[in-house]
Amino acid sequence: MPVDLTNALPLAWDSATLNADTKAMLDNLQPNILRAHVREHLSVLFIRFNDVAEGKAFLRHLATTKMKSARKHLEEVRDFAARGRRGTPYVGVGISKAGYRDLGHSVEDVRKFGDKVFRDGMKRRIAEVDDPPVDQWERTYQREIHAVILIGDAEPETVAALREEIIGELPESARLLGEESGQGMRNPAGDGIEHFGYVDGRSQPLFVKDEVDKEPKKHWDPAFPLSNVLVPDPFAPNPVRHHGSYLVFRKLEQNVRAFKGLEQELADSLGLAGADRDRAGAMLVGRFKDGTPLTSKPKAGGGPVSNDFTFDADDGTKCPFSGHIRKTNPRSFGREVLMARRGQTYGERTDEPWDDSPPEHRPSGEVGLLFMAFNGSLVSQFEFTQQQWANNPDFQNPATGHDPVIGQGDRAVKVTYPKVWGKPELSVPQAQVAQTVTMKGGEYFFVPSLAYLRNL
């Protein structure tokens, strides 16, 4: 029977009762979609092919010799948990609309992708999400990218060796248009963080039973249907069994110096003192640096950080409606919009991102996030989130303001902040904080099934 993408129950991928179509899906699905793959060190290659036969042969060879299935990845995760044995590196491939055309698919063929956003490509969607003009993007992203190759592992030497091998196998007709390098950052507690110093990667939709079973579910259920990330692969031998996912890639530069200055200015304007000054940054992000949700506590610490919460009992006097994690995941609705985020930080730091160094000691550029997210629909997930939530100053309430972290567009609306946590004592309306994250370029890709790639 066809894979039920709408089933809300988590996938018991190793169950003896799994039907043949679901088994085939797992054997032909790329890893890192259903469950995040280790990619503490990451290399991202952007390729242009230029020759149909050579492009196909390269992808076929890559998929046959260097890429594993989602099932293999899940088996490796289980083996590592049981025996401490490390798995193999991650190699993933995404193809753009232009890439499919260059591989010989007709315009009519490409229409089989039901997602208009993918068919348009990122350069033609600037107005919808308030992105900068293309001529302001970095050179790599101004060009016509056909494919992205992702290489990830826990060890940098493994990634470097595999990168060299893959580049060496590119046909003479192909071009390496550019590349990015990502490396995970962690605070002293070992939690993954982003460049503003906050714990990141929480509140992910989960799809496999192994992960869901480990999570508390009293207030918020982390289990999501496969439809949030999977769609049938229209060019695969059997789309009923062979699936892929729409991948968003965006390079987001973070002005850490400016953001840290804004935290201090907000704390000053609200008259916050002592440890309560940390609440200023938490109101922008929605969490304290250690990941503690602002809606749950007025300060960081006090035990393990739980992801089992909602905003239902918070009228904005604890966590403002504009707080980043509240804007992009309201929790009580919009579950069908959530994406599986698989990004990685980039850039070198000479300071410690988690400490209390003054803003002038922070980088003002050249660091940020390689944002990557898998979607079942770019229209109703990524672009909806960016346009209707992050960039919308009236979501969830009038004059809520933009998402302070990733919101784009004119921030003319004045906003208020709670002066005291949990009490209806609001500041006077004031200007929103300035934008400190700049989109430097990107593209939309489809991450096809291994069945498609191996049959090119």
The residues that bridge with 341 in the sheet, in sequence order, are: 373
What average pLDDT does range 403-431 have in this prediction?
96
Tell me the pLDDT band of 214, cut-offs 50, 70 and 90.
very high
Helix-helix angle 256-269:278-285, to 10 degrees: 120
- pLDDT at position 202 is 87
Confidence check: pLDDT of 304 > 90: no
Average pLDDT, the chain: 96
CB 4 within 8 A of CB 65: no
pTM flag (> 0.85):
yes
CA distances 443 to 57, 115, 147, 170, 192, Å, are 23, 14, 10, 21, 25
Share of the chain above pLDDT 90, in %: 95
Tens-digit pLDDT profile for residues 80-92: 999 999 999 999 9
Cβ burial of 44 (10 Å; 0-12, 13-18, 19+) is buried
Q: Which residues have C-beta within 8 Å of that of residue 127, sequence separation ≥ 6? A: none
- The distance in angstroms from the start CA to the end CA of the chain is 26
Q: How confident is the model at residue 2 (pLDDT cuts 50, 70, 90)?
A: confident
pLDDT more than 70, % of the chain: 100
In angstroms, what CA-CA distances link 376 with 52, 126, 385? Answer: 28, 21, 13
Task: List pLDDT tens digits, range 345-367.
Answer: 999 999 999 998 999 999 999 99
Q: Is the pLDDT of residue 33 over 80?
A: yes
Q: Return d(Cα 76, Cα 153) in angstroms, integer.
A: 13
> Is there a catalytic annotation at residue 213?
yes
pLDDT tier for residue 145 given thresholds of 50, 70 and 90: very high
Could you say which of 213, 351, 356, 394 is catalytic?
213
> Tell me, what's the pLDDT at 301?
87
Per-residue model confidence (pLDDT) at position 104: 97
Q: Would you say residue 231 has pLDDT above 90?
A: yes
Nearest to 96 by CA among 76, 65, 117: 117
